Amino acid sequence: MGIKINDMSTSLESKKVIIAGGSSGIGLATAVILAKEQANVTITGRSAARLADAVKNRPGIHTASLDSNNRKDLDAFFGAQGNIDHLVIALSGAKGAGKFAELSLKDLREGFEGKFWPQLNTLQAALPYINKGGSITLVTAISAISKAPGTSGLAAINGALELMIPSIAKEIQPLRINAVSPGVVNTPWWDFLPADAKADTFHEYAAQIPTGRVGEPDEVADTIIFLMRNGNITGTIIRCDGGLSL
């Protein structure tokens, strides 16, 4: 007797997708791809102005101004949305980097408040509404495993998220959850640096990365889309880092 394989469509057309933290960078790049595939996609962010700017001349993307640290608002938002097919959590903060001896623990705490807790808040609030054939994808970072000087705080934030993924996957099965771990990517996350310093930093990283360059948001977005389509992957962290973790 042959093995029966589920005939599951990989089309994302008309699928309902929420992207938390979708006003720029990887989240927005993912939304653009989904809109082209005619998915029903909504991006969230704290700034209504940034959201409006993000979707200007990008038809097919809906927006919702939402603070993912506010659990009451998250619960109300997902309750109003009803059932969804896919959730992407691309929320991130800009604090937590620095050599440990000089690292401000206040900044590290704010780093957790900017990424770790908002991601978990969003995940918990959304869980009751995600269709069982759907998926959840967290965006972490290669700092979780890179062991690079100056990244111990970032490793704590992203490593904590990644360590939770396999256990959560077993708890929520058959709903799937995975994470995509980018390396150095050309996104607004780096805009805390002046333009010249940012270019120099990217040049220095490119010399260390086996692919010889920093990544682009579309490349990470493609990996997220792959995880949405592939119904046989859960509890997994995919590195999209140009080989930086090697």
**Contact between 88 and 25 (Cβ < 8 Å):** no
**Contact between 69 and 121 (Cβ < 8 Å):** yes
**Contact between 142 and 181 (Cβ < 8 Å):** yes
Query: What is the pLDDT, as a whole number, of residue 192?
Result: 79
Q: Residue 30: which of 172, 216, 245, 193 has the closest Cα?
A: 216
Which amino acid makes up residue 113? E
- Written as one string, the DSSP assignment of 135-197 is EEEEE--THHHH--TT-HHHHHHHHHHHHHHHHHHHHHTTSEEEEEEE-SB-SGGGGGS-HHH
**Global confidence as pTM:** 0.93
Instruction: Return the number of other C-beta atoms located less than 10 Å from residue 75's C-beta.
Output: 15
Cα distance between residue 38 and residue 17, in whole Å: 11
Query: What is the pLDDT, as a whole number, of residue 191?
Result: 80
CB-count exposure of residue 121 (10 Å: 0-12, 13-18, 19+): buried
From first to last of its 246 residues, the chain has per-residue pLDDT tens of: 343 344 355 899 999 999 999 999 999 999 999 999 999 999 999 999 999 999 999 999 999 999 999 999 999 999 999 999 999 999 998 899 999 999 999 999 999 999 999 999 999 999 999 999 999 999 999 999 999 999 999 999 999 999 999 999 999 999 999 999 999 999 888 887 888 988 999 999 999 999 999 999 999 999 999 999 999 999 999 999 999 998
